[in-house]
Structure 1
Amino acid sequence: MIKTTQVCRKALIALGVSLAVFASASIDAANQKNDLPEIGVVASGAISLDKEMQIGDVLMRQLRGQAPIINDPLLDEYIQDLGNRLVAQADNVKFPFEFFLLNNPAINAFAFFGGHVGVHTGLIYNAKNESELASVLAHEVSHVTQRHIARSIEARQKSSPLQLASALGGILLALASPEAGIAAISAGSAASAQASINYTRQNEKEADSIGIRILAQSGFDPNAAGEFFGTLVEKYRLTSRPPAFLLTHPLPESRVADARTRAASYQRNQVPESLSFHLAKSRILARYYATPEYNINYFETSLERGSYAFKAASEYGLALAYLANEENQKAQKLIDNLLVNDPRNLFYLDTYTDIALATGRTEDAIEKLTAQATLTPRNRVITLNLANALVKNKQYDLAVRILKDYLLIAPDNMLAHQILTDAYTESKNKLEMHQTKAEVYALAASYPRAIDELHHAYNYAGAQNIEKQRIRARIEQFREYQTRLESL
């Protein structure tokens, strides 16, 4: 398993400040497809779909650099597949959706411009079943398809630019960090009781209605929304600190009742338990929560007592815990047994690779991954694990070819760029190494560092005049982006 996790609490506050300023800025974006979006005039009219996508790209870059986004191919694959299943049943889908995960134990999810949907690991871990998780994602998909953020901004047209900027900045920060976002809103002149939530009550009602329809049409239990909301309300009824989801998605009892009433109009689907869902839960606990010792005890106890939805999910979690505790032989035995019954399972193949690399059996990992790659070409889990194993085995040229091919369909995949950087670094290819590093920084909106890397690349270009021209053009593009960001 290859992962990179950046956690910066203070940076989330900085993100809120930058978004507030971002919202009040004026940029000339006319007829420039790659320009940063102009937010300063949104109070005078609607935000176009093209602008929404541009804004979403900028915000996503900011989040990559400042929020605890998890670059875990397995969990990314799971949440994207689940999200796509829901989006396929949605109306008014204007752009591709990107679902991503944040390493945060809070029970929360959020959506913003351009089809971006963020999911906290705490939501997956605390959902009882896949239908409950899907109910929240369907709700967020509905916010995007109904363009609720853009409509909320339009509704504030009578506010002054600074008021609008303060409100938008606080709202967007509240998406990823509800407590910080609400504090930002409270500090602004646009603070009001209604401004402390993502959307209006009408927006929430609409998202509930459409979300439950999407949920039912996607084959999930339509009652899951009301059940999940009801559980949250009951669980935190007497606490002074409600979960993040209740801060950003207020749930009065009448709304819970409405969700249950709407669900009753659909036929209840008898949805079997999902192995992938429970494997994802086990992975989140074993990889991102608690200590290896705690997790070993947890999963061993679960297996002894038979307290699991799937025995395989508990065995998988135990294998990850053993691996984290450097008990490689125990981990290998569990994974080998799991693969006998389910040889193409990506969760098991990923951990098989980790164990093989940890025990110096890189060739075994490459052989198994290569066989799977012929069946599922360009799959993110197989591709990135195979490329990483090839780099470890010093097969740099093959790793580079695989990664470049994958980046044609996933140009914003941070992990693919990072592994490609490793391949160039290990092979001492300084020109391409600095160029690829620049793209990594650009994906996190760190344009000064990206420009520095390209200057280094230029020095290694030698007599390659065409390459030098390409580097100069990219430097100018990054400078333009950076200038506009600074002007915000």
Structure 2
Amino acid sequence: MNSIPLLARALAAVLATTLSLQSIAATALPELGNAAAGSLSPALEKQIGQEALAAFRFQDPAYIDDPEVESYLASIGARLAASGKTGDRNFTFFALKDPGINAFAMPGGVIGVHSGLINTSQSESELAAVIAHEMAHVTQHHIGRSINQQSGSTAVLIASLLIAVLAARNSPTAAEAAIAGGQAAMLQNQLNYSRDFEREADRVGLQILETGGFDPQAMPMFFERMRQAYHGEGDAPAYLRTHPLTNERISDVQGRVRTLPYRQVPDSIEYALIKAKLAVLHETTRETIARLRDKQGGRLLDKAARHYALTLAYIADRNETEARRSYAALSALKLKTPMVATLGGQLELARGHGNDAAKLCSEARISYPGWRALDACVAEGLLAAGDGNGALASINERLATQTDDYRLYKLQAKIYTALDKPALAHRALSHVFQQHGMLRPAIEQMQLAQRSKGASAHEESAIDARLRELRAKMCDELGGKLSSESHPEGGRAGKRRDPDRCDKLAP
């Protein structure tokens, strides 16, 4: 589902800092690899995907900055990848607050999921079916192959228009010019997946789904339900506009499923609670309370979801009495999930009981060491209780093995600020910016770190070394692109580092 609106939404913020519409032809096309041949190298796919993910995280207000949502999606992806049908591909999952029914794959194994898709799914296997389909698009290299199918001149046009639309997201005039010329529409048609690719993604995705332990019947059931719900393209969700559901597609999947043994797969507790959490995101607290307060009975997971959502709503409404009552009802269900502990920690923090929050989440972390939301809960609890050093020790322990978690660095910066160590707070924020693909702000944070107090002699030396490292990296990236302007016909040769330009490029 790699339509222009989605890609533009993700990449523009990153590309706009280094590209201008006037220099696209000279500097951007070499960055797409051999555009004339229509190929995307694995390294380039990874770079594009990571830059897109960074832009989503840092620039898009719809990005759901919730470690539990991401951990849940990652658990579905890991279960599907364990089937062995995805090769050695690594996948990264994230969610957007969007009621639309959609999911999309980007280069490098980055997969986005709309909250609307999760909440509309009627079973965890249905959600897994859509994710498996997107994983298949990645493993089968459909984005690169889509470009590869075009003629040389068309591939170059696709590449140049892609960057033009991305860079123009925050420039309405430029965007309107592209649309007026009909080029954006042509590009949209070129990038939508072909029917052959859709059938291949169905076939491979079904294998991933079935060997991953989910109910394969969920795929044709979801497709059929979408087709019956949306007859015309005008009211169809983005999923159907980019993945047209033909009778042939559905019949083919149904035929394949009939050859597989029947399997009934129960939904997980996390599926029910994540759906409840995302439903609350799309409502006011009063709407959630009014919708659920008087409901009674139901299956275990229905009860759990109701009590979970009500606890969230009452916490937001600052109604401690009702929040504690709903949480007690949830706890009484004796569910085996870390999400009950993190919710309890959130409640204790709202009550001003930091030590209780830290204790609750620390105990849960023994049983669920990989659930990252528990790490933040422990540190936030200790910090709220006035134990900044304990909070810092807890975070640093996790950062020793989880250096890719920008949320830990954000929390580390918060703790250093509370401990009156601004130099180290700026250093932590530098890591946050770097992980979002923003080198210039990362360097600025290190410059602030140099001028701030709170660092030991050893830490000052480390700050200086990191600043030099970031300057060199920025010089390589910006210097290479500037050299390409002077030698556009040189292709990759233009990427050589020009030392004479470095002082001008790095701040």
Q: Normalising by structure 2, what TM-score?
A: 0.82
Matched, 1:240 2:234: yes
Equivalent in the alignment of 1:264: 258
**Does the CA-based 8 Å contact 1:387-1:403 persist in structure 2?**
yes
**Does the CA-based 8 Å contact 1:111-1:118 persist in structure 2?**
yes
1:55 to 25, 48, 54: 48
Q: Identity of counterpart residues, as a percentage?
A: 31
Question: How many aligned residue pairs are there?
Answer: 465
**Does the CA-based 8 Å contact 1:167-1:195 persist in structure 2?**
no
Counterpart mapping for 1:91-170 below 5 A:
91-160=85-154, 162-166=156-160, 168-169=162-163
Query: Alpha carbon RMSD of aligned pairs, Å?
Result: 3.4
Equivalent in the alignment of 2:66: 72
Matched, 1:388 2:384: no
Equivalent-residue separation in structure 1 for 2:178 and 2:118 (angstroms): 27
Equivalent-residue separation in structure 2 for 1:170 and 1:198 (angstroms): 18
Equivalent-residue separation in structure 2 for 1:213 and 1:109 (angstroms): 19
Equivalent-residue separation in structure 1 for 2:39 and 2:313 (angstroms): 50
* SS at structure 2 position matched to 1:310: helix
Cα offsets for 1:168-202 (capped at 9, x unmatched): 459989xxxxxxx9997885637449726532211
Equivalent in the alignment of 1:435: 427
Matched, 1:85 2:88: no
**CA shift in 2, pair 1:134/1:169, >3 Å:** farther
Equivalent-residue separation in structure 1 for 2:476 and 2:382 (angstroms): 37
* SS at structure 2 position matched to 1:402: helix
Matched, 1:290 2:283: yes
**Does the CA-based 8 Å contact 2:289-2:313 persist in structure 1?**
yes
**CA shift in 2, pair 1:79/1:13, >3 Å:** closer
* SS at structure 2 position matched to 1:272: coil
Equivalent in the alignment of 2:450: 458
Equivalent in the alignment of 1:41: 34
2:371 to 345, 361, 379: 379
Equivalent-residue separation in structure 1 for 2:197 and 2:176 (angstroms): 19
Cα offsets for 1:269-320 (capped at 9, x unmatched): 112233321111111112x11111110111224x237488521111111111
Cα offsets for 1:238-284 (capped at 9, x unmatched): 47231111122121232222222222121121122333211111111
Equivalent-residue separation in structure 2 for 1:203 and 1:182 (angstroms): 31
1:300 to 283, 293, 299: 293
**Does the CA-based 8 Å contact 2:95-2:112 persist in structure 1?**
yes
How far apart are residue 331 of structure 1 and its match?
Answer: 1.4
* SS at structure 1 position matched to 2:31: coil
Equivalent-residue separation in structure 1 for 2:293 and 2:47 (angstroms): 48
Equivalent in the alignment of 1:178: none
Equivalent-residue separation in structure 1 for 2:257 and 2:306 (angstroms): 32
Equivalent in the alignment of 1:406: 398
Equivalent in the alignment of 2:331: 339
How far apart are residue 448 of structure 1 and its match?
Answer: 2.5
**Does the CA-based 8 Å contact 1:197-1:248 persist in structure 2?**
no
Equivalent in the alignment of 2:204: 210
Q: Normalising by structure 1, what TM-score?
A: 0.85
**CA shift in 2, pair 1:16/1:251, >3 Å:** farther
Equivalent-residue separation in structure 2 for 1:466 and 1:321 (angstroms): 44
Equivalent-residue separation in structure 1 for 2:390 and 2:266 (angstroms): 41
How far apart are residue 124 of structure 1 and its match?
Answer: 0.3
Specify the code of the residue in structure 1 equivalent to 2:36: A
* SS at structure 1 position matched to 2:54: helix
Which has the larger displacement, 465-474 or 197-206? 465-474
Equivalent-residue separation in structure 2 for 1:122 and 1:418 (angstroms): 28
How far apart are residue 450 of structure 1 and its match?
Answer: 1.9
**Does the CA-based 8 Å contact 1:46-1:154 persist in structure 2?**
yes
**Does the CA-based 8 Å contact 1:417-1:437 persist in structure 2?**
yes
**Does the CA-based 8 Å contact 2:391-2:415 persist in structure 1?**
yes
**Does the CA-based 8 Å contact 2:146-2:191 persist in structure 1?**
no
Equivalent-residue separation in structure 1 for 2:24 and 2:216 (angstroms): 37
1:225 to 219, 230, 254: 219
Equivalent in the alignment of 1:475: 471
How far apart are residue 110 of structure 1 and its match?
Answer: 0.8
**CA shift in 2, pair 1:144/1:363, >3 Å:** same
Equivalent-residue separation in structure 2 for 1:171 and 1:233 (angstroms): 31
